[in-house]
Amino acid sequence: MTSGKLKFRASTIQEKKGRLYFQITHLRTVRILRTQYQLFSHEWDFSLQCILVPPKTHPRYKTIKHIFEQTEKEQTAIKRIIQNLSNFSTNFSTDDILNYYQQNKTCKNSFFEFAQKEISRLRLLGRKNTAKNHEAALHSFKKYRQGKDIDFTDINPETIEEYEAFLKSRGNCRNTTSFYIRNLRSIYHQAIEQSPDISSNIFRHVYTGVDKTIKRAISMKDIRRIIELDLTSHPTLQLARDLFIFSFYTRGMSFIDLAYLRKKDIKGENLIYRRCKTGQQLSIHWEKEMQIIINRYPTSTQYLLPIITREDGTEYRQYKNAMMLINRKLKKIGVLAGIPLPLSMYTSRHSWATIAHNKHIPLSIISKGLGHDSEVHTQIYLASIETREVDKANRKILHDLKHIF
Residue 204 lies in a domain: no
Same domain for 97 and 115, yes or no, is: no
Given a contact cutoff of 8 angstroms between Cβ atoms, the answer to whether 246 and 239 are in contact is no
Interior/surface letters 239-252, b for 16+ CB within 10 angstroms, e for the rest? bbbbbbbbbbbbbb
Interacting residues of 200 by C-beta distance below 8 A, sequence separation 6+:
189, 192
Closest CA to 326 of 341, 312, 347: 347
Question: Could you tell me if 368 and 390 are in contact, meaning their C-beta atoms sit under 8 angstroms apart?
Answer: yes
Phi, then psi, of 4 in degrees rounded to 5: -135, 95
DSSP designation for 306? T
pLDDT for the residue numbered 45: 94
Query: Which one, of 232, 237, 235, 240, lies nearest residue 258 by Cα?
Result: 240
Assign 3-class secondary structure to 62-125. HHHHHHHHHHHHHHHHHHHHHHHHHHHCCCCCHHHHHHHHHHHHCCCCEHHHHHHHHHHHHHHC
Backbone angles phi, psi at 286, to 5 degrees: -80, 110
Is the domain of 147 the same as that of 100? no
Does 163 lie in the same domain as 85? no
- CA-to-CA dists, residue 106 to 100, 132, 191, 193, 196, angstroms: 10, 26, 9, 10, 9
Residues 383 and 259 placed together within one structural domain of the fold: yes
Angle of helix 363-370 relative to helix 387-399, nearest 10 degrees, comes to 100
Number of C-beta neighbours around residue 356 at 10 A: 23
| Whole-number pLDDT of residue 302 | 96
**Would residue 404 count as lying in a domain?**
no
CA dist., res. 104 & res. 94, Å (int): 16
Q: At what angle do helices 128-144 and 157-169 cross, to 10 degrees?
A: 90
Same domain, residue pair 62 and 182: no
In one letter, which amino acid is 107?
C
| CATH number for 262 | 1.10.443.10
Give the residue among 19, 7, 24 at the shortest CA–CA distance from 81.
24
> pLDDT value at position 47?
92
Let me know if residue 211 belongs to a domain.
no
User: Among 262, 233, 301, 285, which Cα is nearest to 241's?
Assistant: 233
In a domain, 200, yes or no: no
pLDDT in tens, the chain (405 residues): 788 899 999 998 878 899 999 999 988 889 998 888 999 999 999 999 999 999 999 989 988 999 998 899 888 888 888 887 787 666 788 888 888 777 655 545 688 988 998 898 888 777 777 888 999 999 999 999 999 998 887 888 999 999 999 999 998 888 889 999 999 999 988 877 655 455 667 898 888 876 655 557 888 999 999 999 999 999 999 999 999 999 999 998 999 999 999 999 999 999 999 888 777 888 999 999 999 999 999 999 999 999 999 999 899 899 999 999 999 999 999 999 999 888 999 899 888 888 877 777 776 777 677 776 543 332 333 344 456 667 778 888 888 775 555
The reply to whether 293 and 375 lie within a common domain is: yes
Residue 214 inside a domain? The answer is no
- Please identify, among 105, 136, 164, the residue that sits at the C-terminal boundary of a domain: 105
Whether residues 264 and 392 share a domain: the answer is yes
Containing structural domain, residue 187: 111-194
- Which residues, 6 or more positions from 341, have their beta carbon under 8 angstroms from its beta carbon? 215, 216, 218, 334, 347
Of 39, 42, 5, the closest CA to residue 24 belongs to: 5
Residue ending a domain, among 87, 105, 123, is 105
Residue 287: inside a domain:
yes
| Among 193, 199, 183, 119, residue whose Cα is nearest residue 151 | 199
What's the confidence (pLDDT) of residue 248?
94
Residue 165 within any structural domain of the chain: yes
Same domain? 350 vs 230:
yes
Q: What is the CATH number of the domain that holds 133?
A: 1.10.150
Neighbouring CB atoms inside 10 A of 140's CB total 22
- Structural domains of the chain, count: 3
> Considering the domain boundaries, does residue 351 fall inside one?
yes
Give me the pLDDT at residue 382, please.
Answer: 32
Final residue of a structural domain among 75, 105, 135: 105
Contact residues for 160 (Cβ-Cβ < 8 A; gap 6+) = 181, 184, 202, 203, 205, 206
pLDDT for the residue 87? 73
45 shares its domain with 84: yes
98 lies in the same domain as 124: no
Please indicate, yes or no, whether residues 231 and 379 belong to a single structural domain of this protein. Answer: yes
Q: Note whether 301 and 253 are same-domain residues.
A: yes
